[in-house]
Amino acid sequence: MGIFKREETDHLPEEILLERSASGDTQAYEQLYTRYLPKLYHYISRFSNFSPDDIMDICQDLFLKLWDRKELLLTIHSLDVYLKRAGKNTLLDRLKHGQFKENLHLQYSERKEQFRATTEELLQFSEYSTLAQQAISQLSARKQEIFRLRMEQDLSLDEIAALLHISKSRVKQSIYEAKDEIRAFLKKRGALSILLLLIHL
């Protein structure tokens, strides 16, 4: 309500703006920011009752983090989809770490995009997060990096491959091996159910 003002923007295709932004063009990135900030803001507001300031902080933080890793922009096919996915993950991460627990409420309906986990499952994940992190920490440094990019930041295989300068097949194999090692770790501790929340097997 009155937060965003309609501004004239250069209607360059998204792919061109992404390419220019990836090369460090701040004006191109400002155009992407102007174009997608309102969409991201309203998307996050649909799934939470955070204050306008809190939602704006989340949105701006996501854009700043993406700018810091601007090379990823070349691998993004739809910035709208990417930002919504990142916004969802931010909400889940804040819930997992105990932030805004009382404020967060997930709204489900047939015509709305849905989170893949229920509130109850997320709370259970929060309780087991220490053990889950122990399972991940026993991986090699490289596998940890790939696994976290995939499962925590929700990057695609192509995005991870481009970011780390390795083949897509190597990314896929590393994730497969990481899941096997985590499964074995949790099974020994009688906590295999955590794996279902962590990696949706």
Q: 34, 56 in Cβ contact below 8 A? A: no
Q: Which domains does the chain show, CATH number per domain?
A: 1-114 (1.10.1740.10), 128-201 (1.10.10.10)
Q: Which helix (H) or strand (E) holds 155?
A: none
Cα(34)–Cα(29) distance, integer angstroms:
9
Q: Which helix H or strand E contains 8, and what residues bound it?
A: none
Per-residue pLDDT, 111:
37
Report how far residue 157's alpha carbon sits from residue 200's, in angstroms, rounded to the nearest whole number.
Answer: 16
Residues 6+ apart with CB under 8 A from 65: none
Averaged pLDDT of the chain: 75
- pLDDT at 108 (0 to 100): 36
pLDDT of res. 37: 92
> Which of 99-103, 160-164, 166-170, 176-180 shows the lowest per-residue confidence on average (mean pLDDT)?
99-103
Give residue-wise pLDDT tens across range 47-78. Answer: 777 788 888 999 999 999 999 989 888 888 88
The average pLDDT across 118-124 equals 44
pLDDT value at 170 more than 90:
yes
Q: How far is CA 129 from CA 81, 103, 144, 155, 188, in A?
A: 27, 20, 16, 21, 17
Please give the Cα distance from 146 to 157 (Å, whole number). 9
Would the pLDDT of 140 be above 90? yes
Residue 114 has pLDDT above 70, yes or no: no
Q: What is the pLDDT of residue 127?
A: 47
State yes or no: pLDDT of 84 exceeds 60. Answer: yes
Residue 171 is predicted with a pLDDT of 92
Which pair of tokens denotes residue 91?
A: 């909400």
Residue predicted with more confidence, 127 or 167 = 167
Token pair, residue 172, equals 């896929």
Most confident of 25-34, 44-53, 86-95, 153-162: 25-34
pLDDT at 147: 86
